């Protein structure tokens, strides 16, 4: 893409960001995708996805929330892994959390990559998380807005990448594997919420 955030940090309007062609409306797909406003660590889903860092040793933001909710055993299990490359995924047990498994994924630090590369890496986080959940037989997954916090990915662009990768998965290799794909938005002054509310109907148009 060639779109750039304006100097004041606002993103271009949604109409410039949606899918290239209007996707085929599908009730079946629309019933899978959901938006949740709140704390991802409270959800009893198959897989809850954590926005981790490369060292997998806990951190701030949603990562901190996962470690607080799961308890100290999560850090011990993460310490068995040498880390996780950007764009990749690692699955752990969920300990005290209500989800079945945690998928830790490392989104790109937005300003460390050319825009196309950041987009490719962020899409990879969503796709690999969905693949791993499906491979494990988990039929529901919840994502935070990966990379859009401390890692600085523009909210609306990040939402478009999430929805595009998810649609591609659900209509391709992952057809029929997921009952629910939940996008969670939290503490972002409504920016992620607004982005998802505008973009979901573009990527998953009403029938």
Binding site for ligand ADP (CB under 6 A): 39-41, 51, 61-63, 65, 107, 144-151, 184, 186-188, 192
Rounded to a whole number of angstroms, the minimum distance from the CB of residue 97 to ligand ADP is 11
**Cβ distance to ligand ADP smaller for residue 40 or 133:** 40
**Cβ distance to ligand ADP smaller for residue 29 or 122:** 122
Rounded to a whole number of angstroms, the minimum distance from the CB of residue 182 to ligand ADP is 10
The residues that bridge with 102 in the sheet, in sequence order, are 48, 92
**Cβ distance to ligand ADP smaller for residue 32 or 125:** 125
Rounded to a whole number of angstroms, the minimum distance from the CB of residue 70 to ligand ADP is 12
Rounded to a whole number of angstroms, the minimum distance from the CB of residue 40 to ligand ADP is 4
**Cβ distance to ligand ADP smaller for residue 29 or 51:** 51
Handedness of CA 77, 80, 84, 90 (dihedral sign): negative
Rounded to a whole number of angstroms, the minimum distance from the CB of residue 100 to ligand ADP is 17
**Cβ distance to ligand ADP smaller for residue 149 or 154:** 149
DSSP the chain: ------TTSPPPPGGGTS-SSPPPP-HHHHHHEEEEES-GGG---SEEEEE--TT-S--SHHHHHHHHHH-THHHHHHTTS----TT-EEEEE-TTSSSSEEEEE-PPPGGGS-HHHHHHHHHHHHHHHHHHHHHTT--EEEE--TTSSTT---HHHHHHHHHHHHHHHHHTTTTT--SEEEEEE-SSTTHHHHHHHHHHHHHS---
**Cβ distance to ligand ADP smaller for residue 29 or 33:** 33
C-alpha 65/C-alpha 126 separation (Å) is 20
Rounded to a whole number of angstroms, the minimum distance from the CB of residue 144 to ligand ADP is 4
């Amino acid at each position: 893409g060639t779109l750039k955030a304006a100097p004041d940090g606002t993103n271009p309007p949604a109409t410039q960001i949606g899918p290239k062609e209007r996707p085929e409306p599908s009730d079946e797909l629309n019933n899978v995708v959901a938006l949740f406003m709140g704390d991802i660590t409270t959800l009893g889903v198959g897989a809850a996805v954590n926005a981790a860092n490369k060292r997998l040793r806990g951190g701030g933001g949603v990562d901190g929330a996962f470690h607080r909710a799961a308890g100290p055993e999560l850090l011990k299990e993460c310490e068995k892994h040498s880390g996780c490359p950007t764009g990749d995924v690692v699955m752990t047990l969920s300990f005290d959390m209500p989800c079945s498994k945690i998928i830790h994924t490392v989104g790109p630090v937005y300003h460390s990559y050319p825009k196309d590369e950041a987009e490719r890496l962020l899409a990879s986080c969503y796709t690999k998380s969905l693949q791993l959940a499906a491979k494990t037989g988990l039929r529901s997954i919840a994502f935070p807005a990966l990379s859009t916090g401390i890692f600085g990915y523009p909210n609306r662009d990040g939402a478009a990448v999430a929805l595009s990768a998810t649609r591609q998965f659900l209509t391709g290799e992952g057809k029929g594997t997921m009952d629910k794909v939940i996008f969670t938005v939290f503490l972002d002054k409504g920016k992620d919420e607004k982005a998802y509310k505008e973009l979901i109907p573009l990527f998953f148009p009403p029938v």
